[in-house]
Amino acid sequence: MAVRGLRAGLWAVRPRGTGCAAGLRSDSEPSEPGPQPAGPATAALYVHWPYCRKHCSYCSFNKYVVPAVDEAAVRACLVRETQTLLRLGHVRSVTSVFFGGGTPSLAAPHTIAAVLEAAAEVAHLPAGAEVTLEANPGSADPTRLSGFKAAGVNRLSLGVQSLDDAELRLLGREHTAAEARAAVEAARKLFPGRTSLDLIFGLPGQSREAWARNLEAAQGLCDDHLALYQLTLERGTALEAQVRRGVLPEPPEELLADLYLSARATLAAAGFHQYEVSNFARKVSTSTLCPQVRRSPSSPTTPLSYRAPAAPTTSPTGGPSSSWAWGRGHTAASCRGERAAACARHACRRRILTRGCGRLQEVLALGLRTDEGVTQQRWGFFSPRLSLEDAFGAPGEARELQERGWLRLNGRALRCTPAGLPLLDSLLPALLCQLRRRWNAVEEEDGGGRASR
Ligand code: SF4
């Protein structure tokens, strides 16, 4: 229901949808081979509802538009997989839960409740844990929203996308601007201070004025949290085909940059704090589940993904980094996912080990999306032997980016400046290359080849 792009994309950071599945990010996964982390395991849980009522014209996610969903079967799968993954991860405490999709607001509230109860049966789910549900205005009437609240949801992310009917039609959304307004108003009553609106900008033909009107209207409605996503014209979508055939104009790059920068300035003037590339909050409405937002080194997770970062431990083969992580790839097709969950207790198809430089590259790419950047503390947690200064302080690409005013490295963190943040996608390749070179140099000093890749 929300805008998505590649996981490392500049604007959109959510993972592509998978089949019906629960995903987990934990700070340990002792059931996997390799070194075992110490201490209690916490995890952020992502639960995917892959069904939608219709195809939006820009959407390339893995979602299913089916005449009828066998909700009892899906619920059973989600419950089973949630419990299996929590057990496999030896998770003792779930810090937050995110129901994403697809359109999870199409699920019955008692399905949401069942998943939360299932999680609470095998792990501690604190009363104050953030539980977010993505909702589409077309399935967010007050009765449903009350049901979700009673089920345990305490934060709503509404896929408004636009408050202009012509734009909504272009996007193939099923709701109107009036329905979106009604949904936001209902949500704010039930989830005061914890309602977020998703908006898309960069639509074919969208003018600066139209975007400014949208943003102004959203500010008038919103409950202190806005997520702005640049439209990605994904191959295989109806919208991309129309642009490719010349039926619709392709938005020029300069205009896209303008739309983003003007929105950022407008929101800053209105008291919003940009705490992540796409996310803006006023007062204290930052989401603990906002992609990539992690403040504590003891919670080195980045949610909304099916990777499970491990707590630092001794690397199996030595080397400059002591961090490793097991990731899980889920079955893509909903039916296969359900079958796999029914047969094998979870829909994981493969496991992926990330460690060494690959792990640090992930920490870098995700950390730079946030306002605080990659803190010294966090980097040291993952990389006790290759410091931020050693990796990025010496002459090289990172130094050049600092001199151009796009990057800042100090005793606190490596982070993008406000001018550099919109350019992050362009800056990252050079930084990743530099990190790789420094990593290899440390490996060579260590005797070569002992550290894992
Ligand atoms: S609601 Fe639209 S954008 Fe969201 S997953 Fe469904 S089809 Fe895609």
Rounded-to-integer distance, Cα 203 and Cα 213, Å = 14
Q: Is 427 in the pocket of ligand 1 (CB under 6 A)?
A: no
Q: Is 63 in the pocket of ligand 1 (CB under 6 A)?
A: yes
Residue of 49, 62, 103 best suited for mutating to test ligand 1, as the one with most atoms within 8 Å of CB = 103
pLDDT for the residue numbered 268 = 94
Share of the chain above pLDDT 90, in %: 63
The verdict on residue 398 lying in a domain is no
The verdict on residue 210 lying in a domain is yes
- How sure is the predictor about 344, in pLDDT bands with cuts at 50, 70 and 90? low
Q: Is 56 in the pocket of ligand 1 (CB under 6 A)?
A: yes
Which among 58-67, 247-256, 280-289, 341-350 has the top mean pLDDT? Answer: 247-256
Q: Is 16 in the pocket of ligand 1 (CB under 6 A)?
A: no
The verdict on residue 290 lying in a domain is no
Could you tell me whether strands 279-281 and 155-161 are parallel, antiparallel, or unpaired per DSSP bridges?
unpaired
User: What's the CA-to-centroid distance between 65 and ligand 1, angstroms?
Assistant: 10
The verdict on residue 438 lying in a domain is no
Q: Is 61 in the pocket of ligand 1 (CB under 6 A)?
A: yes
The verdict on residue 234 lying in a domain is yes
The verdict on residue 302 lying in a domain is no
> Which residues on adjacent β-strands are paired with residue 348?
330
The verdict on residue 240 lying in a domain is yes
Atom of ligand 1 nearest to the CA of 63: 5
The 10s digit of each residue's pLDDT in 350-383 is 666 667 888 899 999 999 999 999 999 999 988 8
Instruction: Indicate the range of 110-124, 212-226, 329-343 predicted with least confidence.
Output: 329-343
What is the span of the domain harbouring residue 85?
21-281
pLDDT for the residue numbered 445 = 84
The verdict on residue 312 lying in a domain is no
pLDDT above 60 (res 239) = yes
The 10s digit of each residue's pLDDT in 139-172 is 999 999 999 999 999 999 999 999 999 999 999 9
pLDDT above 70 (res 23) = no
Over the chain, what is the mean pLDDT? 81
Q: Kindly state the DSSP code that residue 261 receives in the 8-state scheme.
A: H
Quick check: 78 and 24 in contact, CB under 8 A?
Answer: no
Q: Is 101 in the pocket of ligand 1 (CB under 6 A)?
A: yes
pLDDT above 70 (res 321) = no
Q: What is the SS3 assignment for 156? A: strand
User: What's the CA-to-centroid distance between 48 and ligand 1, angstroms?
Assistant: 13
Q: How far is CA 168 from CA 48, 139, 260, 423, in A?
A: 24, 16, 19, 28
User: What's the CA-to-centroid distance between 239 and ligand 1, angstroms?
Assistant: 13
Atom of ligand 1 nearest to the CA of 102: 5
**Domain count within the chain:** 1
Q: Is 136 in the pocket of ligand 1 (CB under 6 A)?
A: yes
CATH number of domain containing 86: 3.80.30.20
User: What's the CA-to-centroid distance between 105 and ligand 1, angstroms?
Assistant: 12
